[in-house]
Amino acid sequence: MTDETKSAWVERVLQVPPRGSSGGTPLAIWRDAKDGLDQQIRALQSAFADIDHPLAQAIADRGLSGLSDRIQVGLQAALFDYQAADAAGRAAAGKKVQDATAKLRAFLASDPALPLLEKNPMGLPVDIRATLGQAADRIDAATAG
């Protein structure tokens, strides 16, 4: 079976669009934003690996999830539930997604490490707040009532 055939099956049966294509579903929007951001974070992880500082080590060891205290995990779980919900459960699942995006926004607005990472001394391009904030906006719009 070719990769194209496999991808077509995943898209048709699981209703998950291919990577790099948000497809408009909330889960795909999140995945695309996270995938792009993960590339930036990996570059930071490499750069911070040899720096003897607790924040640098947390990023080197665990990436953004080392800072976000499972916020991302909660959002992703809510997105999976939303995608799996039938018509009757869609509104309740959407509310859980929007609660999770609110927690993400609070983290983006309040965590003091994020501006420092975005203006890192290595000059690496990092757009955590803009990338995840825009994804949260799109997810909220897609899951609204």
Residue 137 lies in a domain: yes
Residue 82 lies in a domain: yes
Per-residue pLDDT of 64-115, as tens digits, reads 777 776 898 999 999 999 999 999 999 999 999 999 999 999 999 999 989 9
User: Domain residues for 100?
Assistant: 24-143
Token digits for 79? Answer: 């997105």
What is the per-residue pLDDT for 8? 62
Q: Give dist(CA 128, CA 116) in Å, integer.
A: 11
Number of domains forming the structure of the chain: 1
Residue 7 lies in a domain: no
Residue 64 lies in a domain: yes
Residue 116 lies in a domain: yes
Residue 11 lies in a domain: no
Q: Give dist(CA 100, CA 74) in Å, integer.
A: 6
CB hemisphere CA count around 6 (13 angstroms) = 4
Per-residue pLDDT of 15-52, as tens digits, reads 555 554 446 799 999 999 999 898 898 888 888 887 88
pTM of the model: 0.77
